[in-house]
Structure formats: C-alpha cells, structure tokens
Amino acid sequence: MTTRHKQASLFSKKIFVQAFKDSFVKMNPALLVKNPVIFIVAIGAVMTTIIVFGDIFTKHFSSFNLQISVWLWFTVLFANFSEAIAEGRGKAQAESLRKSRTQTKARRLINGKEEEVLAPDLKKGDTVVCESGNVIPADGEVIEGIASVDESAITGESAPVIRESGGDRSAVTGGTKVISDRIVIRITSEQGNTFLDRMIALVEGAKRQKTPNEIALTILLSGLTIIFLLVVVTLPTFFGYSLTASGMPQSQNLTLPVLIALLVCLIPTTIGGLLSAIGISGMDRLLQKNVIATSGKAIEAAGDVDVLLLDKTGTITLGNRMATDFVPAEGVSKEELANAAQLSSLADETPEGRSVVVLAKELFNMRGKEIHPSDTVFIPFTAQTRMSGVDIKESGGNVRSIRKGATESIKKYIQNNDGFFPKKVEEIVSDLARQGATPLVVAENNRVLGVIHLKDIVKGGIKHRFAQLRQMGIRTVMVTGDNPLTAAAIAAEAGVDDFLAEAKPEDKLYRIRQEQANGHLVGMIGDGTNDAPALAQADVGLAMNTGTQAAREAGNMVDLDSNPTKLIEVVETGKQLLMTRGALTTFSIANDVAKYFAIIPAIATSLYATAHAAGPMSALNIMKLATPQSAILSAVIFNALIIIALIPLALKGVKYRPISANRVLALNILIYGFGGLVVPFIGIKLIDMLLVVLHII
C-alpha cells in the first residue's frame, strides 16, 4: 500500500550539476574552517600554489610542484563535492515535500469572518477553515468538525484518513488535502518551524549542527592532524641532521611542497572529507523510510537504543482479533456451531465478525446465500447487551435467535430464556482465556452451542525480527492493556523479551524511567496525547503522523506512514550511520601505513648514498615505485581519488547486518581495517605505473 518516495538516484544529473557548483561555493574559507582536516589541506593547496607561481617568476618552474598543487585542490574539491551531493539528495527529497506547501492559500478565520491569506503568512494560533478540495496550509490541530484527508503527498498512502476534533486523530499536516467535509484548524507551528522546515534545516549545510558523536570524531581527527603536523614540522630538522651526517649540503633538505604532500597524505582526509556526507545521508535514508527526524542527535541515539517499548496492537499483532477455531459444547457438532456463528456474524462488519465468516467458509465451505433479508433481523452490538446476533424466521414460523458475545452476557441471555449454561462450556472458556485468547460464546435460543476461539494474530515474521533484535543486543518490551495471562501468552508467541500488562499511559512513562535509571536507552512509538510524556522521556520517541499534535511535538521523530514496526528500521538506520563513520575512520587511519612506505623511502633515499648505489632507505621502497617524485605524487593522487571512490559508500552506508556486535566488528575490521592496510599499497602502485606509462614524471 505504501509507496516510498522515489529515491533520488545517486547521481541524478540535476543533483550532480548542482553539487559540482556547490563544491566551488564551499571553498569559502568561512565554511571550510568548520572541517579542520580539509581546511589544512586547503591551506596546503594555497601554499603550494604560491610556490608554483614563485617558481614561474624565478624561472625555476617545477611540474612536480604544479601537480602536487593541482591534486591538493582536487582533494579539497572532492571533499566538498561529497558533502554537496549528500546535501543535494537530501534537499531534493525535502524540496518535493515543501513545494506542495509554499503556494497554498489559506482561509483564515478572524472573529468568525473568513479572509484569504498566503500560507506562509499564517501565525501560530491562527484558525483556518478547510473544505473539500482545500490544501491544509500548515501543521495544526482540528478544533471543529470531521473530514477525510488525503495525506498521500507526504505519506505516499493513497487511502484517505479521517481527521476529527478531539481525541487522538486531531493532528493535520501542512501540504495534505481535505477531500470531504469541512474542518476548522488551529495552526500549531510557527512558519519556518514545521517538521518539514526542521528537516530541511538538518540537511542544509549552513544550519546543520554537528551531532555529539560527530563532535567527538572531529576532535579525534583534529588531534591526529596536530600529531601529523608535528611529525612533518620536525622532520626537516632530523633530515638536516642526517644531511650533515652523510656529508650533503643543507640545500638538499626537504622542500615545502614535499612536506605539504606528506602532511596531506598522513592526516585523515578520507574520513575528514566524508564525515558530513555520512551524517547528511543518514538523515536522507531516514527520510526515504518516510521518517522525519527533528535532530541528527536523535538518529545517533537510535543506534544506541537497547530497549524498545512496543505497543501490542498494530506492532506485534495485527490490529484485530481473528476467529481461529470453533469449540462446540457437548452434543453439538462443530459444523452446527460454525453455521450458527456464521449466521450471527453476517452483518457484523467488525474485523472479528468478518473473521468468523471467513473461518466458517474455510472450514466448512459455508456461504450466507440461503438467507433472505425479509426473514432476517440483525441484532447489532450495543454497549448494554454486549451481544450481537440475528433473528431468523423459519418457514414453520419458528424464530432462530442466535447470539454471540462475552461469556457473562450470554449467560444472562440464556438464563432469561430459561436455559442453562453447561459447566463444560465454562471450562472451555476459562481454558481459552488462559491461552491468551478471547472466547466468544454462541447461543441459539436457550441452548449454548459452543465457543468461538478469537485470537490475537501475531504478525508474520515478527518473531524472526525480534530474534534479530536480540542478537543485536536490543530487548523488546510489549505494552498492552490485556490482563497478564493473555499478555504472557502473546508475548511468548511473538518472542518478545518482556511485557507490560494492563498498562496505563503513566506505566509507560514509569517503565521508561526505570529502564533509563538502569543505564538503558529506550525507544518507543506513540500516537495518543497521553503518550506524549513517555515520548518525551524516551531517548528515541517516534510519533505517528496520525497521532495528536501533542504526541508529535513530544517525540523526536515522526513517522509519516504511521507504521508501528518502523521503529525497528529507525534503529537500524542509526546503527548503520555510526558503523559507516567507524568503518571509514578505521580505513582512513589504516591507509597511512602504505603512504609512509611510499613517501619515507622516497624522501630519504639520497641520504648516506654511496657513489655506486642508492641510499640504504631505498630498501624500504617495498612497492618498488619508479622515482621519488612519482612515489610522492602517487600517494597524493591516491589520497584524493579515494575520497571520490568512497562517496557511494558514504551515501549508502556500510552494509547493515542484524548480527551480534562481535560478528559485525570482526567483519568490519576485516573489510575496512585490513582492507585499509592493503588497498593503498595496490592503489599507489597502480597510479605509479600509470604515471610512468604516461610519462608524467
């Protein structure tokens, strides 16, 4: 039913062109300085460029210096490009949502009079009227009336939903369309502060706040950068000492471009360049799942969540109970019971009622054809009788009064008809209740025919899902209003780790606090107003879009699909985001080993050289790179190209697998740690060979 937003293809032409332009705009030092690692590269690029111009003026032009300078600029551009393309994709996603809203006109109510204003001019607290055909101008709450609303613009769900004043279905979202009736809406969000606006701000570079984990990682990367700066700054002194010791002039000391090249190769440019792209694309992936996060922090917290509070209904079980069996009373055939049950349910449009009809059809191929409407009176369910059923006039003038309902009400009905309630049936009833089922007793006139076994149907595949969560170290807690007996039975069937039975809204809040006090991070889903405190207390509060405005404000994410299982996907997205960061950091640091083996022998090979042989350091040139210059250039080129090569990975995230932390780690270490050691050896060697073939060096 749900159609996802069309995923912007990784390199759609428009995004690509815009990102290309943006990578130059992002050269602005004020923007660059936010990313210390890339900022250092930019400074290096400027310095080498100045040196190249100096070379030209002093007529000592060095093509090596020029190439170093060019590749340093490319390194900065590539890093900018990765961020720009992630932004572009996120914006494209959000833009299509925003477009629907900007042109909207609103009918504002002032003292009972309507006036037409543009949607962006609305203020919080204004009331507006929407009738069929109107687009709802901004997020708000229905204060009067009931209407069906088409929310497909943001949810992709084509079936209209009901929105009415009061209760849990009062929230409406800007950009959705009223298709029937008339409602009055109070605007609840300031313009520029709706969910969509907040989402877009999260994606856009200028307003984006670094998340706590990004800050920590930036500190690590800056620290490593300072350490390597220290290495490079002190190197000429040790080199100068060695020159003297090997009887060479100080004029042979390392040149500035070589030192800058070494520095840029050592500092973690790969992760530094891709860091913001990873963060943005995490939000983008969430948006593709139709979840709007109100902060990047919330996505990270989702990765940390280790307890999930899940409502039973809708999340673990299908929304409704289903008939799964007919248990006849003594002396009654199963078929007779099924027949009576089916007849009593023909007009029962509740899902339970329909399931009885379906079951009868499945078991005995019964159909309700033989009934003539003129002879039949359907008795609807009322709160007083707590029964429903049918009275059928038969040809002999007899009336068959068939009733189904809760045990107590049928008992009363039978007694009123001078019948008796068999002990055996009572046993069946209590037996079923123990199994977590809901028994529905069927009676005809003064005779009890048997019991319909109504059962909560656990969603297909959910048990497997919970098993995966358990492997990932996440505990699931089922929240239900059922009695403990029923709850336990369903919990066992669904494979949840724990349950909260006969739960009142404040129990949820209490449970979350309790888990948090024990050091857990809790995620939950909620929709009703009385969920709001719990949503606010939870570390990740996913509010359903169909929920009340209060719930949506309290949570830190909104699920546009209002699909309760979405919480699990949100957790996975959070984990994937953190994994991608860790993997690329590991890769980036591991890369340095190979770069050292390229550059150190290259710069030191002349030291202590004897007349007939290269210096002893050439023994460390294990890649057998052609010349010192080709070696340095290859390392710099590899360093730039690896950023471009890893953009797709940064945007898509590393492959996510629902397995235990230990196995994930072992796998990622193998791929990104070991891979990070080996790949650059191969890459640098290949580039070196190419440089030689092309006679660039």
Partner 1 sequence: MNEIIQIVLFIAALIALTPILGRFMAKVFMNERHLLKLVLGWLERLIYRLCGIDSSEETNWKVYLSGLFVFNFIGFLVVFLLQMLQAYLPLNPEHLPNAAWHLSFNTAVSFMTNTNWQSYAGETTFGYLVQMLGLTVQNFVSAATGIAVLVALMRGLTRKTTENLGNFWVDLTRSVVYVLLPLAIIFSVILVGQGVVQTFSPYTHVTTLQKTQQVIPLGPAASQIAIKQLGTNGGGFFNANSAHPFENPTPFSNFLEMLTILLIPAALTFTYGRFAGSNRQGWTVFIVMFILFAAGLGLSLYSEYGHNAVLHVAGNMEGKETRFGVANSVLWSVATTDASNGSVNAMHDSLSPLSGMVAIFNLMLGEVIFGGVGAGLYGMVVFIILTVFIAGLMVGRTPEYLGKKVEAFEVKMAILAILVPSLVIKLFSAWACTSSYGLAGLNNAGPHGLSEILYAFSSAAGNNGSAFAGLSANTVFYNITLGLGMLIGRFGVIIPVMAIAGNMASKKITPVSSGTFRTDNWLFVLLLIGVILIVGGLTFFPALALGPIMEHFLMNSGITF
List the one residue from 664, 679, 687, 697 that touches partner 1 (CB under 8 A): 664
Contact (Cβ atoms closer than 8 angstroms) between residue 318 and residue 454: no
List the one residue from 192, 212, 351, 484 that touches partner 1 (CB under 8 A): 212
Angle CA(109)–CA(112)–CA(118) in degrees, nearest 5? 15
The full 3-state SS of 664-687, as one line of letters, equals HHHHHHHHHHHHHHHHHHHHHHHH
Does 542 help bind partner 1 (rule: CB under 8 A)? no
Transcribe 651-668 into DSSP letters.
HH-SPP--S-HHHHHHHH
Closer by beta carbon to partner 1, 582 or else 683: 582
In the structure encoding, which two tokens stand for residue 217, read together?
A: 């990682």
* Min dist. Cβ of residue 307 to partner 1 (A): 10
473-493 burial, b at 16+ Cβ within 10 Å, e below that, comes to ebbbbbbbebeeebbbbbbeb
Please name the residue that has the structure tokens 């360093």: 639
List the one residue from 15, 94, 322, 589 that touches partner 1 (CB under 8 A): 589
* Min dist. Cβ of residue 677 to partner 1 (A): 9
Q: Give the Cα separation of 647 and 277 in Å (integer).
A: 8
| Window contacting partner 1 (CB under 8 A); options: 180-188, 279-287, 332-340, 569-577 | 569-577
Cα distance between the two ends of the chain: 60
Active site residue 311: yes
Binding positions for partner 1, 421-480, rule CB under 8 A: 470-475
* Min dist. Cβ of residue 585 to partner 1 (A): 6
List the one residue from 553, 561, 569, 592 that touches partner 1 (CB under 8 A): 592
* Min dist. Cβ of residue 269 to partner 1 (A): 14
Does 604 help bind partner 1 (rule: CB under 8 A)? yes
Binding positions for partner 1, 605-644, rule CB under 8 A: 607-608, 610, 616-617, 619-620
Angle CA(175)–CA(180)–CA(181) in degrees, nearest 5? 105
User: CB neighbours (10 Å) of residue 370?
Assistant: 8
Closer by beta carbon to partner 1, 222 or else 344: 222
- The SS3 assignment for 85 reads helix
Binding pattern for the stretch 110-149 against partner 1, x by CB under 8 A and - elsewhere: ----------------------------------------
Which of 126, 311, 559, 592 is the catalytic position?
311
List the one residue from 24, 53, 61, 238 that touches partner 1 (CB under 8 A): 238
Closer by beta carbon to partner 1, 26 or else 475: 475
In the structure encoding, which two tokens stand for residue 494, read together?
A: 């669904």
* Min dist. Cβ of residue 621 to partner 1 (A): 12
Does 309 help bind partner 1 (rule: CB under 8 A)? no
Does 252 help bind partner 1 (rule: CB under 8 A)? no
Closer by beta carbon to partner 1, 8 or else 602: 602
Binding positions for partner 1, 497-536, rule CB under 8 A: 518-521
Residues touching partner 1, count (CB under 8 A): 76
List the one residue from 159, 399, 665, 686 that touches partner 1 (CB under 8 A): 665
Transcribe 227-247 into DSSP letters.
HHHHHHHHHHHHHHHHHHHTT
* Min dist. Cβ of residue 83 to partner 1 (A): 20
239-278 burial, b at 16+ Cβ within 10 Å, e below that, comes to beebbeeeebeeeebbbebbbbbbbbbbbbbbbbbbbbbb
List the one residue from 304, 325, 336, 507 that touches partner 1 (CB under 8 A): 304
Does 583 help bind partner 1 (rule: CB under 8 A)? yes
Contact (Cβ atoms closer than 8 angstroms) between residue 440 and residue 450: no
Does 567 help bind partner 1 (rule: CB under 8 A)? no
Closer by beta carbon to partner 1, 179 or else 670: 670
Task: Tell me which H or E stretch contains 437.
Answer: none
User: CB neighbours (10 Å) of residue 30?
Assistant: 6
In the structure encoding, which two tokens stand for residue 198, read together?
A: 């907040």
* Min dist. Cβ of residue 178 to partner 1 (A): 42
Residues identified as active-site: 311
